[in-house]
Amino acid sequence: MRRVAVIGNAAGGKSTLARALAAAKGLPYHEIDRHIVIDVAAWSPAEHAAFLARHAAILAQPDWVVDGLGPLRTLKDLFARADTIVHIDLPIEQHVSRAIERFEAQRAGRIGAEDPGATAPQNFDQLFRNLWGHHETIRPRILSALEPLEGVKPIFNLRSQAAIDGFFAAHCRPAGA
């Protein structure tokens, strides 16, 4: 595991898992959401081009843990360059429940600027649209893109909290711990 893509819907634990994995393996960590404008519809061509350049530069590095997708047009490049893919694919109800908890934590000031989920929309309507849109539109495209990679590279489809906990236990402990 030298180039790991951690993907999935919001509020599934991507950032927590990706940060722990990067720390355990001594790999650079990159949270893709911190490189994009949250309101993608308002992206100027220059902002979009700048993101694509940053994304390509990250993927060109010899090792990394990338947390998140960015625009779908970058999915093919991400999957081609990654040597391992971790897909957190919880039921939509769990993503929504966790998103509500995170939204309330943001409103109460319990999430700092560097904490996982800090870049999530502050508007619950937008957050819910993002969650549902990912589940209905992006998730099927991810699953389709992963299909031809099965057996070619390690893919971890984590579909429950128990599966996430098992991945943590197996891969996110520092060497010698």
Is 108 within the bounds of a domain? yes
Q: Which of 111, 22, 24 is nearest to 67 (CA)?
A: 22
**Percentage of the chain lying above the pLDDT 70 cut:** 91
Number of domains in the chain: 1
Residue 176 lies in a domain: no
Whether residue 114 lies inside any domain: the answer is yes
Phi, psi of 135 (to 5 degrees): -60, -45
Q: Which amino acid is at 165?
A: D
Phi, psi torsion values for 19, nearest 5 degrees:
-65, -45
CATH number assigned to the domain comprising residue 111: 3.40.50.300
Is 152 among the domain residues?
yes
Q: Model confidence over 162-171: pLDDT tens digits?
A: 999 999 999 9
Within a domain: 151:
yes
What span, in angstroms and rounded, lies between the C-alpha atoms of 127 and 124? 5
For the stretch 81-114, pLDDT in tens is 999 999 999 999 999 999 888 888 888 888 877 7
Note the pLDDT of residue 105.
Answer: 84
- The answer to the question of residue 55 being in a domain is yes
pTM as predicted: 0.91
Asked whether residue 9 is assigned to any structural domain, the reply reads yes
Which structural domain, as residue segments, surrounds residue 134? 3-171
